[in-house]
Amino acid sequence: MARSPIRMSAVAFALDVVLVVAFAALGRATHDGDVLGRFGAGLAETTWPFLVALAVGWVVSLAVRRPAAPLRTGVPVWLVTVGGGMLLRVVSGQGAAIAFVIVATITLALLLIGWRLLATLVGRRHARAAR
């Protein structure tokens, strides 16, 4: 069954969203400890700047053309997500401590570029096996 480019882009964007939310949720759980109480509102507050920046990153990088490309799409989406997310955090009064910037930069690189690298490697293995 052939995968449509629109469906592939939608799945890739959804995966990016899930990973950004997971990043924020892990951070909230690590620092708040109150996963069930204030987690929902706190999670939304922590996540929204990065989700907005993620959407901008998708537009800027024209990610719909090659959503799973690690370098062409993953790197610009990651850079815009981190940079834009931090900028929006600062502008909205949430702050951006240097330790948070470092952890977010590394973690989001692993998540947003990492799944694309894995998908590329798996795709190449399948292509070799099909030959």
pTM of the shown model: 0.89
Q: Which amino acid is at 62?
A: L
Mean pLDDT of 11-28: 94
User: What is the number of structural domains in the chain?
Assistant: 1
Q: Given pLDDT bands bounded at 50, 70 and 90, which one contains residue 2? A: low
Mean pLDDT of 25-29: 86
Q: 61-69: long-range contacts at Cβ-Cβ below 8 A with a sequence spacing of 24 or more?
A: 63/9, 63/12, 63/13, 64/5, 64/6, 64/9, 67/8, 67/9, 67/11, 67/12, 67/13, 68/8, 68/12, 68/116, 68/119, 68/120, 68/123, 69/116, 69/120
Range of the domain at 43: 5-130
Q: Tell whether the model's pLDDT for residue 76 goes beyond 70.
A: yes
Q: Tell whether the model's pLDDT for residue 37 goes beyond 60.
A: no
